[in-house]
Amino acid sequence: MDYGAGTGFATLQVLNSSLGPFINEVVCFDLSPAMIKICSEKMNSYPDVTFTFLADVSGRQELENQQPFNLVVTNAFLHHLLDVEGFLKQVRQYVAASGFYMAGHEPNYNFYVNEELVQVTRAFQRYKRIRQRLTLRYWLLKAGIKKSNPDLATLVNQELLRSGLSEQSIPANLLHKLVDIHVPFGISTDQPWGEIGFKDSTVAQWLGSDFEWKGTYTYSHIKDGLANRDWYWKKRLPHLEATYPLDGADALMVFRKKD
Ligand SMILES: C[S@@+](CC[C@H](N)C(=O)[O-])C[C@H]1O[C@@H](n2cnc3c(N)ncnc32)[C@H](O)[C@@H]1O
C-alpha cells in the first residue's frame, strides 16, 4: 500500500525494482482525489497487478476494510503531518506480521546537527548566489527588464486571499513551514514548530515494540539538488557520503513488523 501516494512516484519505484515481480496487488491512497486520478492513469502498464485507488476521507475509511499489507510505503509524506506519532500508530495496523513499513524521502535529523554538512551546504548556497549574479538573467530581472514568473508562495497567497481563507498574505517562509511542517526552516535547528527532521530510532519507537528497524539509507549530503550537477561540488560528495553515511539531509528508513 502506498499511503499519501500522490501521482504514484513511490509505487512506480517499487514496481520497477527487483520487488516488482513479487507484487500482484497494490492499493494507492491519497487524501487528494486529483492526485489519485493522475496516479491511476500512470499504472496502466502493469497487466499482472490489481490496483485499488482510494481517495478522500471515504477512501481512508475504506482502508480499514483491507487485509493487512506485506509492504506499506510512504514517500515524502510524514513531514507534512501535524501528528506523525498518531499516524504511525495507525500504520502499524496496516502492516501484516513479517511485513515491512518503508518511510522514504524524509528530512533526516542527523544532517541538521552535523556541523560540517551544514557548513558545506551554507558554503554551496553562498557560491550559488555569487554564480547567479554572474548571469545576464539576474541583472535583467534586477533592472526590471525581464519579468519573473510568480513563485509558489505568491500563487498560494493569491488563492488564499481570493477564496477568503486568509485576510492577509502569509510570508513565504511561514507558508513553506506550514506545508513542510517537520522540515527545518533554512538549515537551522532553531524551529518555531515541528520536528528537526526525523531520527530512525524515534520512528521505530513511534511504530511500537513489535517493529524492528532494518536499515536507513541517507542521501543529499549537500542539501541542494544542484550540488550534484556542479563539477567542483559534486567531487566533494563521495567523501562526505563515506564519512557520514547516516547523515545525508534526506533519508529512507525500513522497519519490519515481527512475526
Ligand atoms: C509531497 S507529496 C508526495 C507524493 C508521493 N508519495 C511521492 O512520493 O511523489 C505528499 C502527498 O501527501 C498527500 N497528503 C497530505 N496529507 C495527507 C493526509 N493526511 N492523508 C493522505 N494524504 C495526504 C498530498 O495530497 C500529497 O499527494
**Main-chain phi, psi angles of 28, to 5 degrees:** -115, 125
Give the CA count within 13 Å in the CB-facing half-sphere of 251. 26
pLDDT 10s digits, 68-89 = 999 999 999 999 999 999 999 9
Q: Which domains does the chain have, with CATH numbers?
A: 2-110+196-224+245-257 (3.40.50.150)
The whole-number pLDDT of residue 170 equals 95
5 CB near ligand 1 (under 6 Å): yes
What average pLDDT score do residues 178-192 get? 90
What average pLDDT score do residues 237-251 get? 98
Query: What does pTM read for this prediction?
Result: 0.93
3-state secondary structure of 16: coil
Q: Which of 2, 12, 26, 77 to mutate to test the pocket of ligand 1 (most atoms within 8 A of CB)?
A: 77
Closest ligand 1 atom to Cα of 2:
6
Percent of the chain with pLDDT over 70: 100
The whole-number pLDDT of residue 146 equals 87
Give yes or no for residue 150 having a pLDDT over 90. no
pLDDT 10s digits, 84-138 = 999 999 999 999 999 999 999 999 999 999 999 999 999 999 999 999 899 998 8
Q: What is the distance between the alpha carbons of residues 223 and 117, in angstroms, rounded to a whole number? A: 8
Give the closest residue (by CA) to ligand 1 atom 26.
6
Give yes or no for residue 6 having a pLDDT over 90. yes
Q: What is the distance between the alpha carbons of residues 190 and 185, in angstroms, rounded to a whole number? A: 8
The whole-number pLDDT of residue 191 equals 86
2 CA to centre of ligand 1 in angstroms: 10
Give yes or no for residue 255 having a pLDDT over 90. yes
10 CB near ligand 1 (under 6 Å): yes
By C-alpha distance, which of 104, 146, 149 is closest to 248? 104
Give yes or no for residue 239 having a pLDDT over 90. yes
By C-alpha distance, which of 204, 198, 159, 201 is closest to 181? 198
The whole-number pLDDT of residue 147 equals 86
Give the closest residue (by CA) to ligand 1 atom 18.
31
Sequence letter at residue 159? E
Q: Which of 43, 54, 80 to mutate to test the pocket of ligand 1 (most atoms within 8 A of CB)?
A: 80
By C-alpha distance, which of 101, 51, 52 is closest to 77? 101
31 CB near ligand 1 (under 6 Å): yes
4 CB near ligand 1 (under 6 Å): yes
Give yes or no for residue 149 having a pLDDT over 90. no
* Residue 220 Ramachandran class (φ > 0 left, ψ -120 to 50 alpha, else beta): left
CA 53 to chain centre: 21
Give yes or no for residue 26 having a pLDDT over 90. yes
The whole-number pLDDT of residue 148 equals 84
3-state secondary structure of 1: coil
76 CA to centre of ligand 1 in angstroms: 7
**Residues 183, 249: contact at Cβ < 8 Å?**
no
The whole-number pLDDT of residue 47 equals 94
What average pLDDT score do residues 246-254 get? 98
Task: Name the burial class of residue 170, with classes exposed (0-12), middle (13-18) and buried (19+) by CB atoms within 10 angstroms of its CB.
Answer: middle
